[in-house]
Structure 1
Amino acid sequence: MSKMKVAMIQMRVVEDKLRNIEIAAEYINEIVTENVDMVVLPEMFCCPYKTENFPIYGEPEGGPCYRMLSSIAKEHGIYLVAGSVPEKDEEGRVFNTSYVFDREGNKIGKHRKMHLFDINVEGGQCFKESDTLSAGKDVTVFDTEFGKMGLAICYDFRFPELSRLMVEAGAKVIVVPAAFNMTTGPAHWDILFRTRALDNQVYTIGTAPARDESSCYTSYGNSMAVSPWGDTICHMDEKEGYRIVELDLDYVDRVRNELPLLAHRRKDVYSLLKNNTIQNI
């Protein structure tokens, strides 16, 4: 089986944590009538994107939000890339974490954002995730019946080494829950998703919150999907909604065979060293 249908949900984020999950569930109830295989939610889809919110909204793995998301995946028999949520560990640290559930509601992937979004653009966005978040350290690849997929969160996607490590671990799709803002989004969103798709000959999928000018953090929106040839196959605007795309993972093999970019790497001259663990559940 090589073809799969993936739905991207671009939703607004409200202050009520559980209401956000209910909103996602309402979208999924509608989407599953179209026989989708996987649903992808945005970064911090249940928590307004503000540093001081992360410890307040944070829950341990297995908490109420986790259980609700697992239940949704099982109820509808879908793969669910559950955007990202604030996760608290036993030591009280908080991570920006994405869980992936299979069709039975079992966790098959977990990624803690590795690169914390600490920026200060003159005349633009200023944000410092490290005020309340800790950084993850694992490269995340998970298995499906369609093939292996990589998982990154937002700012992670700016670092090409991470995507390449996922591809070296077998990924044919890279899924990215993200929340670019009105400074970085117009400048870099499209370029990054097309470039990573071309560099690695993979499908790239970026799912963002809908734009809300009244929120504490204004998301760029524009959720999109790109083919391994670099074609934009789906591009949303800033509004709430969802889009469904069909991915053909055999097409990844075809592109890599016809333009053997990965095979032509000069490993006798350069290599990518890995000092971390690859999470492949």
Structure 2
Amino acid sequence: MANHKIAIIQFYPEPNEIESNHIRAVTFIREAAASGAQLAVLPEYHLADFVPSHDPAIRQQCANWKKYLDAYCALAKECNICVVPGSFAELHDDSTIVNATYFIDNNGVICGRYEKKNLWHPERPYVKGSKNDTRHTAFDTPLGKVGMVICWDLAFPEAFRELIIQGAKMIIVPAYWKYTDASEIGMKRNPKSEGVFLDAAVVSRAFENTCAVVFCNVAGPEKEGFAGLSQVALPFVGCIERFENSEEGMKIVDVDMNILEEAEGAYKIREDIATSDWHYGYNR
């Protein structure tokens, strides 16, 4: 296996500024490509296209998602870089919004698409989760077998298990995760509890699945509850790179994928899961 250079772009989605957010995201991706990155990852709802509201004018913001997806495909080909453009709020049939992410290869071809299953509570009145309509699916990319989940999906180990059973070696997690998600009760216990959650979950998923986990969160003012903390983790070594705050920026991370084979040799997690008598079927 090879080393991969991955750009995690901790990006601040300025409210109601979809076009300018896109222009800024393009600038980051161009900089990532110029730095030799093979993959650039943006956060969930990076265009700030989703606002929890039934207001038709607000919902209409989600109608132009295809324009931006096409633009990222063209940019990936132009810059010879793979792109995961965070996620889009996609308005379908003038009524249904889904939260979807894509893996675009360096030829501008979409290798994989994923719709968020485990919606965060404020999304649920407005966004349709994929639930059991589709399964978690790993897919081939220039960087090997990859899987994707979105934000709150990180809290469900079953999603990762389903992806590594299919051979995924890297799981990419665009997110819009804030300290305030802990609720008033959690914030009273520990104002930074969501940071504890994120650091523990990202590293745990890497170890328990012998995979690379690329977590890319939004940036924003900490006084407004933004956590940042975007990071990349591997088994054995844990977090190999991390934003220590919620400021906007980009880090180019060298990811040694050979560690995955070493970890699997020690833990044999994938080997055990692949056996016909694997005892965790989660059938109900």
Per-residue deviation, 1:71: 1.5
Whether the aligned pair in 2 keeps the contact of 1:18 and 1:65 (CA below 8 Å) is no
Normalized per residue, which structure has more helix?
2
User: How far apart in 2 are the matches of 1:260 and 1:88?
Assistant: 43
**Secondary structure, aligned partner of 2:259:** helix
5+ residue gaps, structure 1, are 119-127, 276-281
Q: Could you say which residue in structure 2 is the equivalent of 1:278? A: none
Within the alignment, does 1:132 sit opposite 2:126 as a pair?
Answer: yes
Shift of the alpha carbon at 1:105?
A: 1.0
Contact persistence 1:18–1:46 (CA under 8 A):
yes
SS at match of 1:86: strand
Tell me, what secondary structure is at the counterpart of 1:262? helix
Distance in 2 between the 1:255 and 1:214 partners? 39
AA partner of residue 226 (structure 1): A
With 234-243 and 49-58 compared, the bigger mean Cα shift is at 49-58
- The amino acid of 1:64's aligned partner reads K
Deviations 1:192-237 (A, max 9, x none): 101111110111111011123576xx43111000012251101102
Q: Shift of residue 159 of structure 1?
A: 0.7
- Partner letter of residue 255 of structure 1? A
8 Å contact from structure 1 (residues 87, 97) kept in 2? yes
Post-superposition Cα deviations, 1:27-82, rounded to whole Å, max 9, x if no partner, equal 12222221110000001000166312873321366x21111111211111111011
Q: Residue type matched to 2:230 in 1?
A: S
Distance 1:60 1:71 in 2: 16
Partner of 2:232: 225
Match of 2:19 in 1: 18
Q: Residue 243 of structure 1 aligns with which residue? A: 251
Query: Once structures 1 and 2 are overlaid, which stretch shifts more, 195-204 or 264-273?
Result: 264-273
- Return the alpha-carbon distance in structure 2 between the equivalents of residues 177 and 5 of structure 1: 17
Q: Residues 139-158 of structure 1: matches in 2 within 5 Å?
A: 139-158=136-155
TM-score (norm 2): 0.85
- 3-state secondary structure, aligned to 2:140: strand
TM-score where L is the length of structure 1: 0.86
Please list every run of at least 4 consecutive aligned residues from structure 1 whose deviation after the TM superposition is greater than 4 angstroms. none
Instruction: Tell whether 2:66 aligns with 1:59.
Output: no
Q: Distance in 1 between matches of 2:223 and 2:235?
A: 36
Counterparts of 2:283 and 2:150 in 1: how far apart (Å)? 19
Helix, strand or coil at the partner of 1:171: coil
Q: Can you list the C-alpha shifts for 1:248-269, whole angstroms capped at 9, x where unaligned? A: 2232112101222333458636
Report percent identity of matched pairs.
Answer: 25
Instruction: Evaluate the alpha carbon distance shift between residue 230 and residue 88 of structure 1 in structure 2; reply closer, same or farther with a 3 A threshold.
Output: farther
Identify which of 74, 78, 82 aligns with 1:75.
Answer: 78
Is the contact made by 2:37 and 2:81 (CA closer than 8 Å) also made in structure 1?
A: yes
CA 1:270 to 1:60, structure 2 compared with 1: closer, same or farther past 3 Å? farther
1:172 match = 169
The 3-state SS of whatever aligns with 1:197 is: helix
Structure 2 unaligned regions, length at least 5: 183-193
Residue deviations 1:139-181 (CA, integer Å, cap 9, x gap):
1322123310110000111111110000001101110001111
Q: Distance in 2 between matches of 1:274 and 1:45?
A: 36
After superposition, the Cα gap between the structure-2 partners of 1:152 and 1:230, relative to the gap in structure 1 and judged at 3 Å, is farther
